[in-house]
Structure 1
Amino acid sequence: MADVYLSKNKLEGSLIDAFDGCQSLDRLDLSHNYFRGSIPESIGSSLKLSFLLLGYNNLEGEIPRQLCELEKLSLIDLSNNHLFGHILPCLKPTSKGQMEREASLNPSGNSLGVEDRQPPIPIALPVPVEDPSKNKSVEFTTKSISYPFRGVVLNYFTGIDLSCNNLTGEIPAELGNLSNIKALNLSHNSLTGPIPSTFSNLKDIESLDLSYNNLNGEIPRQLINLYSLSVFTVAHNNLSGKTPEMVAQFSTFNSSCYEGNLLLCGPPLAKNCTGGTPPSPVPRPQTHNKEENGFIDMGAFMVTFSVAYIMVLLAIGSVLYINPSWRRAWFYFIGESINNCYYFLVDNLPVPARFRRFQPCV
């Protein structure tokens, strides 16, 4: 039995004895099921294993170190489980095409001396004949999208997806030695420490997702040399310092790739590294001479207006109380005003006949 494809079948149970006697196992896809328990250490006996897809299950425990013994392993998907512990620094996924190329470039296994080196000769690798048994597609998340891969292309693709688990500790610097890896997803864990500067050696990487962790420190400036990188996100960490220069492929990454890092500054973020605050907006041209930068405190305005109104009423009352002549004049004025208002209403508004007019007492 070389290939096992049992993805999306609602299977459940433990994998404790699943790899006993599976030395010839090549591709294993058990993703999108309900398997539980830990990944058995007996997986190390499957020395020919190239694809290990166990994502979207209920697996627990630590990642077994026996995975480091699988030298032909190219795709590792353990995402969306409940795995904990540290990331193994010895993981070294290598594509089948890369191993064939290295073997053809150096078939004897010995390094050539300086005097024996010749100018490189273009080598046309034979295109492998597609085996119908290998025509089954496998899903792997890269560039934030789950793609179905099938056929010969799988011989030249390498990737690690450990996202959505409970992994802790620092990211091993040894992962920076995976110069041929295409996709690395470590998002949605509890990883700490800095981003390894060795990641600048990932020359072929196209998708790097380190978001939703507890990473700190600065983003290595050397990452701008990853010219194949098309998806990059370090959002929602504790990173600080300046973002990488907006050059080459990094000029295509927007602010969402860096958001959620309060101490991170520089473009494309709005936070300026020099002043620590976003740049002030360009002032609008004024169309008149009146200042527009003032404002009214409505609470203070209402209190001031009420106090002033009460003071005016008290002042008028005090004057009328002290001076009898002014008091008589004031009441005479009020009476005349009431009479004038009354006669104005009687002369200008229609009044039903049943209502009797009466003269006010003067």
Structure 2
Amino acid sequence: MSCSFPWGSFCFFLVVLCLPDSNISTSSHGCFVEERTALMDIGSSLTRSNGTAPRSWGRGDDCCLWERVNCSNITGRVSHLYFSNLYDSNEVLDALGHSFWRFDTTVFSSFPELQFLDLSMNNATFQSWDVFESLRNLRELDLSSNRLNGSIPSSLFSLPRLEHLSLSQNLFEGSIPVTLSSNITSALKTFNFSMNNLSGEFSFFWLRNLTKLQKIDVSGNANLVVAVNFPSWSPSFQLKVLVLSGCNLDKNIVREPIFLRTQHQLEVLDLSNNSLSGSMPNWLFTEQATLVYLNLGNNSLTGSLGPIWYPQMNLQAISLPMNRISGHLPANISSVFPNMSFLDVSSNTISGEIPSSLCNITRMEYLDLSNNSLSGELPNCLLTEYPILTTLKVSNNKLGGPIFCGTNHLSIKHALYLDGNKFEGTLPRYLTADFDAHGTLDLHDNNLSGKLDFSQWNLSTLCTLSLAGNSLIGEIHPSICNLTRIMLLDLSHNNLSGAIPNCMTALELDFFIVSHNSLSGHIVPFSFFNSSTVMALDLSHNQFNGNIEWVQYLGESKYLSLGSNKFEGQISPSLCQLQSLRILDFSHNSLSGPLPSCIGNLSFGQNPVGIPLWSLICENHFRYPIFDYIGCYEERGFSFRTKGNIYIYKHNFINWMSGIDLSANMLSGQIPRELGNLGHIKALNLSYNFFAGPIPATFASMSSVESLDLSHNKLSGAIPWQLTRLSSLSVFSVMYNNLSGCIPNSGQFGSFDMDSYQGNNLLHPASEGSECAPSSGHSLPDDGDGKGNDPILYAVTAASFVVTFWITFAFTSFRM
């Protein structure tokens, strides 16, 4: 009988003996108990912060199978934690409208073999950093886009295997904890400390021993002094990515490029927003250049883009806006930049014609030549033969010739900006385009003429159309109703006449601007535009008439300008339903009757939860390592008169501007005291009306008001001394009323000259050394008319009661 030794079982026994005791005692079906417990603690922490843990957490004992968790195939321990955006701060708000995740970092002590930790985009805060010293196997740590504050822990630089460290977009302060004597881990390849509040000095020489270093990003730290140039120093590293935008950068980095000339493998270089001077660094474009992305925007660089002697086969994106670059664009631009997909040379002084060779760059997606001095005609091929060109901007140059170069088809995929030039002629009756779902066509401020006729335009996806500032005439053709996707329509500053057309289906407009024309007729709600969607409506400087009852349907409007028309009738209390308003202009009409007191309940200037801020059509078209380009259509601006002048406000004006202008109407009655509730309003103009009675003392509660014009009315009584509390008031006028008494001279009123009060014969300045205000401690009267706390009034009333009582008693006794 033969027998054999069970070698397989014996070997397995030996393997088991060699395993650490902890692995045997804590393993649970591929997941270690302490790691599973730690993950459940993280889930509980999310719940306590009103967040939600991933659904798979807690299902089954093997945490290696849970979402956002990876384990080592060898040891079974957690090696990777993908926690990016685990806490969705956009969906979680506390009682104060804030959202952040109070994260207890001690849980990471349960992951001794953790190699990868991504905790980015969580609005997280830490109370302690001590646990990171124990994560000796960590290779990549991403804590970007949180609310981490204080100083950057120096211990992070000592983690022996750390290769990638990102602390960008936090609230860190102080200096970067690296000095000449620092013991930095030699494994470090990339670090990103961008968009913090760092300060002090940061010297590249301190990184001299980091032979594997490939990426440095300390952009967006305006007070961080970055030193890069050191004569006779040859760095031991070759960077691939260098991003130093918006720091206190060594101004000689371009003018005397000692450091940059040592870096022969750069693929990404961003020196934007640093006020750098010197000539355009065309020496970067060598025969061996490896550059893929170059951003030198918003500096003071001079010279020209050329000559460039060697084709830059790798270069895909150049951003050079807001410099002082002059000269011409290279005639052979397609030869030197054959693979370019993004070119922005806007806001320089480049002159000459646009080279037609641009059309030979077949990969071009975004081309911005705006705000220069380019002349001549636009090459036709840019409009018709660019198969993947998404955006073309040539705004504010000196270009001319027929609009669209006489073509009837546009190959642009998203946005075409031809505004601010000298293009001329009539709009083509037949026009097609390859626009995507958010097409933009901006032709404002040119020399276009003729009538508006869209009857043969096949632009069903056109979203934004601006024809403002031309010489268009006639009526608005009803075929405009075919632009069913239109969201922004600007026809202002033309010579259009007639009524606004009626559409079978109202257009879902967000912005409708037809100011400064000769349009007329009544406004019928929901006939041309969907009143419930309009955020900005500007009908000013036309000949519109009828009442304004229809404004009650403009529930989303933030900007409402009906000034300089022929509207009549009363202002209805239904106006007070428009709780989103920031700017209200009914000036220069024939509105009459009293002003509804409920206007004081509008939330001018506030940003209540649930009411969206100003939003425009924005598309994220280009994502490059050094910038995320977000393409937004920026309206040419909205006007509002305040402080005696007309100001133009861009699309973000509601963040800091709010006002009411009801001037030059026929409004009457007393000014409602409830207007004092408008504590956030910055401008109020009630001039040139027939308001009578006193100035409400409650106006003292309009703490943000900067301009208050009550001139040319029939107001009487004294100027309330309480108005001297208006510390922001810079313009004040009560000219030509029937006011009397003393002119206040304290607070801001000490800065107003007598022109603010002329035409009030019974007003007089305060005598020298005296003030108009009563003694301190008086409060605003409850009813705003100066009555109710007058001791003389009380005495007279009491005496009258006593006399009346005794006369009545005597008369009764006599009759008896």
State if a TM-score over 0.5 links the two structures.
yes
Measured on the aligned residues, the alpha-carbon RMSD in Å equals: 2.6
User: Could you tell me how far apart the structure 2 residues matched to 1:187 and 1:153 are?
Assistant: 24
- 1:251-276 residue CA offsets vs partner (Å, 9 max, x unmatched): 2100110111111111599xxx9xxx
The answer to whether 1:209 aligns with 2:709 is yes
| Cα 1:258–1:268 shift into 2, 3 Å | farther
Q: Paired residue for 1:263?
A: 762
The one of 531, 536, 555 equivalent to 1:22 is 531
Asked if 1:236 corresponds to 2:741, the answer is: no
Q: Unmatched 5+ residue regions in structure 2?
A: 1-508, 619-631, 773-816
In the alignment, is residue 52 of structure 1 matched against residue 560 of structure 2?
yes
| Aligned counterparts of 2:545 and 2:615: Cα–Cα separation in 1 | 37
Q: Is the 8 A contact 1:255 1:268 kept in 2?
A: no
Structure 1 SS opposite 2:598: coil
Counterpart residue number, 1:343: none
Q: Is the 8 A contact 2:671 2:692 kept in 1?
A: yes
Residue 251, structure 1, aligned to residue 750, structure 2: yes
Give 3-state SS (helix, strand or coil) of 1:151's partner. coil
The counterpart of 1:10, out of the listed 518, 524, 546, is 518
Q: 1:213-228 maps to which residues of 2 (within 5 A)?
A: 213-228=713-728
State the 1:16 CA deviation. 3.7
The answer as to whether partners of 1:135 and 1:151 remain within 8 angstroms in 2 is: yes
Can you list the C-alpha shifts for 1:176-200, whole angstroms capped at 9, x where unaligned?
A: 0000000000000010000000000
Q: What's the offset of the Cα at 1:5?
A: 0.7
Helix, strand or coil at the partner of 1:215? strand
Shift of 1:153: 2.4
1:136 equivalent in alignment to 2:636: yes
How far residue 213 of structure 1 moved from its aligned partner, in angstroms, is 0.3
Query: TM-score normalised to the size of structure 1?
Result: 0.63
Letter aligned with residue 141 of structure 1 = R
Secondary structure of 2:668 counterpart: strand
Q: 2:547 aligns with which of 24, 34, 38?
A: 38
* Counterpart for residue 89 of structure 1: 597
State the Cα distance separating 1:244 from its structure 2 match. Answer: 0.7
Q: Matched residues in 2 for 1:144 and 1:202: separation?
A: 19
Give distance in 1, aligned partners of 2:633 and 2:513.
11
1:146 Cα offset (Å): 1.0
Residue 191 (structure 1) aligned with residue 691 (structure 2): yes
1:73-112 matched pairs, under 5 angstroms: 73-91=581-599, 92-95=601-604, 98-99=606-607, 102-103=608-609
Contact 2:719-2:743 within 8 A present in 1 as well: yes
**Structure-2 change in CA distance of 1:159 and 1:130 (3 Å):** farther
Closer/same/farther in 2, CA of residues 128 and 11 from structure 1, 3 Å limit: closer
Distance in 1 of aligned mates of 2:615 and 2:515: 26
Aligned to 1:69: 577
Give 1:10 shift: 1.4
Q: How far did 1:44 drift?
A: 1.7
Distance in 2 between the 1:243 and 1:18 partners? Answer: 50
Alignment deviations for residues 326-358 of structure 1 (CA, whole Å, 9 cap, x no partner): xxxxxxxxxxxxxxxxxxxxxxxxxxxxxxxxx
Paired residues of 1:38 and 1:60 also in contact (CA < 8 A): yes
CA distance in 1, matches of 2:585, 2:701: 22
Q: Following TM superposition, by how much is the alpha carbon of 1:73 offset from its aligned partner in structure 2, in angstroms?
A: 1.2
Mapped partners of 2:518, 2:712: distance in 1 = 29
Cα 1:268–1:261, aligned 2, differ >3 Å: closer, same or farther? farther
**Structure 2: distance between partners of 1:128 and 1:2:** 9
Mapping for residues 107-122 of structure 1, pairs under 5 Å: none
Bigger relative contact order, structure 1 or 2, given CA contacts below 8 A and separation 6+?
1
Partners of 1:127 and 1:59 lie apart in 2 by 27
- Give the corresponding residue for 2:150: none
Pairwise CA distance, 1:127: 11
Does the 8 A contact of 2:614 with 2:651 survive in 1? Answer: no
Q: Shift of the alpha carbon at 1:134?
A: 5.2
Partner of 2:711: helix, strand, or coil?
A: coil
CA 267–133 in structure 1, closer or farther in 2 if over 3 Å, else same: farther
Could you tell me whether the CA contact under 8 Å between 2:525 and 2:553 is conserved in 1?
Answer: no
How much does 1:155 deviate?
3.1
Deviations 1:290-332 (A, max 9, x none): xxxxxxxxxxxxxxxxxxxxxxxxxxxxxxxxxxxxxxxxxxx
**Secondary structure, aligned partner of 1:241:** strand
What's the offset of the Cα at 1:208?
Answer: 0.0
Distance in 1 (alpha carbons) for counterparts of 2:740 and 2:635 = 46
Cα deviation code 1:92-136 (max 9, x no counterpart): 44356x21xx53xxx9xxxxxxxxxxxxxxxxxx99889544533
For 1:232, give the aligned amino acid. Answer: F
Paired amino acid for 2:697 = S
CA distance in 2, matches of 1:165, 1:63: 11
C-alpha distance in 1 between matches for 2:740 and 2:585: 30
Give the corresponding residue for 2:674: 174
* Pairwise CA distance, 1:42: 3.1
* CA pair 205-130 structure 1, distance change in 2 beyond 3 A: farther
Q: Percent identity?
A: 41
SS at match of 1:148: strand
Q: Distance in 2 between matches of 1:81 and 1:134?
A: 30
Q: Deviation string for 1:189-224 (max 9, x for gaps)?
A: 010000000000010000000000000011000111
Largest Rg, 1 or 2:
1
Assess, with a 3 A threshold, how the Cα gap between structure 1 residues 257 and 188 changes in structure 2: closer, same or farther. Answer: same
Kindly provide the amino acid, as one letter, of the partner of residue 710 in structure 2.
L
Whole-Å separation in 1 of the counterparts to 2:713 and 2:573: 23
Secondary structure (helix, strand or coil) at the match of 1:168 reads strand
Residues 604 and 659, structure 2, Cα contact 8 Å, conserved in 1: no
Structure 1 contact 199–223 (Cα < 8 Å) conserved: yes
Where is the strand percentage greater, Structure 1 or Structure 2? 2
Mapped to 1, the partners of 2:583 and 2:615 lie a distance apart of: 19
For 1:268 and 1:147, the matched residues in 2 are separated by 38
1:262 and 1:178 map into 2 onto residues whose CA distance is 30
Q: 1:128 to 1:85 in 2, by over 3 A?
A: closer
1:194·1:216 contact (CA, 8 Å) conserved in 2?
A: yes
Q: Which residue identity is paired with 1:255? A: M
Return the offset for 1:248: 2.9
Report the alpha carbon displacement of residue 49 of structure 1 after superposing the two structures with TM: 1.2
Higher helix share: 1
Contact map agreement 1:48 1:72 (CA 8 A) in 2: yes
In 2, Cα distance between the equivalents of 1:151 and 1:75?
12
Contact 2:686 2:711 in 1 (8 A): yes
Q: Secondary structure at the match of 1:11?
A: strand
CA apart distance, 1:22: 1.9
- Measure the CA separation in 2 of the matches of 1:47 and 1:35: 21
Alpha-carbon distance, 1:17 to partner: 4.0
- TM-superposition CA deviations, 1:145-167 (whole Å, max 9, x none): 11111121233311110000000
What residue is the counterpart of 1:322 in the other structure? none
Which deviates the most, 10-19 or 145-154?
10-19
Q: Which runs of 5+ in 1 are unaligned?
A: 108-125, 274-362
Contact 2:523 2:550 in 1 (8 A): no
